Chains A and B, each alone.
Chain A
């Protein structure tokens, strides 16, 4: 990708995906998220750091958790937020994305969080407006803040991501969560595998540096962490799998299957879950599940990303040092 950010702590203008980041940049985001966890535990869960900033949450696809998580993060940083969803907006009246972008820009906003159904939409927007753009999920491309919160959750649990064995199970083909996790995990030194029906494993995935397990039992034995993806039920209609029942029988993550897992294995899921399809309730609610810590970390990671991208020009760094220590 051409969206490589400068090395070090700076992330550049936008967060489009993890493919364009370095391991150091990812670690900086995770480190920055740590102090933000504490803010959410305070009596007054708010700091004034983004006071006066206007952030637009532009959601072309329905999303409850991602939008709410971003909104919490924005509000806890004292930003002013505006939510725009595709329903009832001018987008449905045929307005192009480039016109939507220009219209927003004309209202003098500072940041945009966008969820969009087309891969590359975040890059498209970022290239056309001076505001910071954060990708809240674009088509089947990337969902970087989801992967960052997953990395933070794994780091909380294991202390170290280097050398960790993580297997992503399910519909890799259509999953932006899988792609962002693959890039993110590889960049911080983890080993990554994928597992699922061959119809849902994209061609060329091995060339990204991941291995492929055909059977979920093998994946479970190998893994330190199992990342279970949501199975979109429409995949059955499209003929990728014969039935949901069979999917659960062959690829479902159940307590029984986890008996052969390592002692410390944890299970992640990006939500919302199809209980009884890709994951059984006794796993989702069981001791190996870190699904709720994922949600908590989501707010902290998004606060960190907003904080790191907002305002601030690198050339002002020196000037700022001249003040009080």
Chain B
């Protein structure tokens, strides 16, 4: 909200996020013909847990065990020169050969599109999926690359000086989406 200063403004609470993830799983399920073909891959760090939750919803909806994986795009960033000291690299773990599979990439926030670009480059080094789709919890606009999501949980208008912070239980102890001052984000 314009005029809001300081602090965190919660825009989605745990129930809202959970409900949204269930909806996203439903949308993915609607387009799934062969469940064995599907692979849900989260982008580190917060996309990984969201991907796991979406996979849970898919399984609860009757899909046989869903292959999940994680992608660490640090080494594929295009802003490497500007980053320092070196960010910690997490493991990239894919559940098997990706060539010929349908991969759904999951991330928490879609903004410039550069993270997704890096993820696509990294996936290409592992193989040639039949199709890659993009699923994000929040789309805040502001794209710098021609990348659009296939599944969006919530579109948010973000005022200047604010940014979107997604919390997930394993890393942050809560499941929610907040708007925070850029200065205190990190």
Instruction: Name A325's contact: one of B85, B125, B165 (CB within 8 Å).
Output: B165
- Say if the beta carbon of B170 comes within 8 Å of chain A: no
Instruction: Name A47's contact: one of B76, B82, B185, B186 (CB within 8 Å).
Output: B76
User: Which of A30-38, A80-88, A184-192 binds B?
Assistant: A30-38
Bound complex: CA of A311 vs CA of B86, how far in Å?
Answer: 9
- Say if the beta carbon of A237 comes within 8 Å of chain B: no
- Count A interface residues, CB 8 Å: 34
User: Which of B13-21, B108-116, B151-159 binds A?
Assistant: B108-116
Instruction: Name B186's contact: one of A31, A36, A48, A321 (CB within 8 Å).
Output: A321
Q: Which B residues are in CB contact (< 8 Å) with A23?
A: none
Most chain-B CB neighbours within 10 Å: which of A8, A314, A325? A325
- Among A68-89, those with CB < 8 Å from B are 77
Q: Which B residues are in CB contact (< 8 Å) with A325?
A: 46, 108-109, 164-166, 185
Q: Which A residues are in CB contact (< 8 Å) with B89?
A: 32, 35-36, 307
Contact A323 B125 (CB under 8 A): no
Interface string of A30-69 (1 = CB under 8 A from B): 0110111011001110111100000000000000000000
Bound complex: CA of A34 vs CA of B74, how far in Å?
Answer: 14
Bound complex: CA of A312 vs CA of B166, how far in Å?
Answer: 27
- Knowing A47-B125, A321-B185, say if A35 contacts B91 (CB, 8 Å): yes
Instruction: Name B84's contact: one of A38, A49, A311 (CB within 8 Å).
Output: A311
- Among B46-90, those with CB < 8 Å from A are 46, 72, 74-77, 79-86, 88-90
Contact A322 B79 (CB under 8 A): no
- Say if the beta carbon of A316 comes within 8 Å of chain B: yes
Nearest residue in B to A52 (C-beta to C-beta)?
Answer: B81
Most chain-A CB neighbours within 10 Å: which of B85, B92, B182? B85
- Among B87-137, those with CB < 8 Å from A are 88-92, 108-109, 111-112, 114-115, 121-122, 125-127
Q: Shortest distance in angstroms between B38's beta carbon and chain A's nearest beta carbon?
A: 21
Q: Shortest distance in angstroms between A73's beta carbon and chain B's nearest beta carbon?
A: 13
Q: Which A residues are in CB contact (< 8 Å) with B81?
A: 311-312
Q: Which B residues are in CB contact (< 8 Å) with A34?
A: 91
Q: Shortest distance in angstroms between A86's beta carbon and chain B's nearest beta carbon?
A: 32
Contact A320 B83 (CB under 8 A): yes
Q: Shortest distance in angstroms between A48's beta carbon and chain B's nearest beta carbon?
A: 6
Contact A324 B115 (CB under 8 A): yes
Bound complex: CA of A308 vs CA of B75, how far in Å?
Answer: 11
Contact A48 B75 (CB under 8 A): yes
- Count B interface residues, CB 8 Å: 37
- Say if the beta carbon of A238 comes within 8 Å of chain B: no
Q: Shortest distance in angstroms between B69's beta carbon and chain A's nearest beta carbon?
A: 13
Bound complex: CA of A47 vs CA of B74, how far in Å?
Answer: 10
Instruction: Name A43's contact: one of B90, B115, B126, B163 (CB within 8 Å).
Output: B126
Bound complex: CA of A314 vs CA of B86, how far in Å?
Answer: 9
Contact B84 A47 (CB under 8 A): no
Bound complex: CA of A313 vs CA of B79, how far in Å?
Answer: 12
Q: Shortest distance in angstroms between A91's beta carbon and chain B's nearest beta carbon?
A: 32
Nearest residue in B to A321 (C-beta to C-beta)?
Answer: B186
Q: Which A residues are in CB contact (< 8 Å) with B72?
A: 35
Q: Shortest distance in angstroms between A125's beta carbon and chain B's nearest beta carbon?
A: 22
Bound complex: CA of A77 vs CA of B77, how far in Å?
Answer: 13
Contact A38 B86 (CB under 8 A): no
Contact A312 B109 (CB under 8 A): no
Q: Shortest distance in angstroms between B7's beta carbon and chain A's nearest beta carbon?
A: 19
Q: Which A residues are in CB contact (< 8 Å) with B112?
A: 323-324
Bound complex: CA of A10 vs CA of B185, how far in Å?
Answer: 22
- Say if the beta carbon of A264 comes within 8 Å of chain B: no
Instruction: Name B85's contact: one of A35, A36, A314 (CB within 8 Å).
Output: A314
Contact A307 B114 (CB under 8 A): no
Bound complex: CA of A34 vs CA of B127, how far in Å?
Answer: 22
- Among A296-319, those with CB < 8 Å from B are 307-308, 311-317, 319
Nearest residue in B to A308 (C-beta to C-beta)?
Answer: B86
Q: Which A residues are in CB contact (< 8 Å) with B164?
A: 325
Bound complex: CA of A308 vs CA of B72, how far in Å?
Answer: 16
Contact A32 B83 (CB under 8 A): no
5 contacts between A and B (CB under 8 A): A9-B86, A10-B84, A48-B121, A312-B81, A325-B165
**B-side interface residues toward A, CB under 8 Å?**
46, 72, 74-77, 79-86, 88-92, 108-109, 111-112, 114-115, 121-122, 125-127, 163-166, 182, 185-186
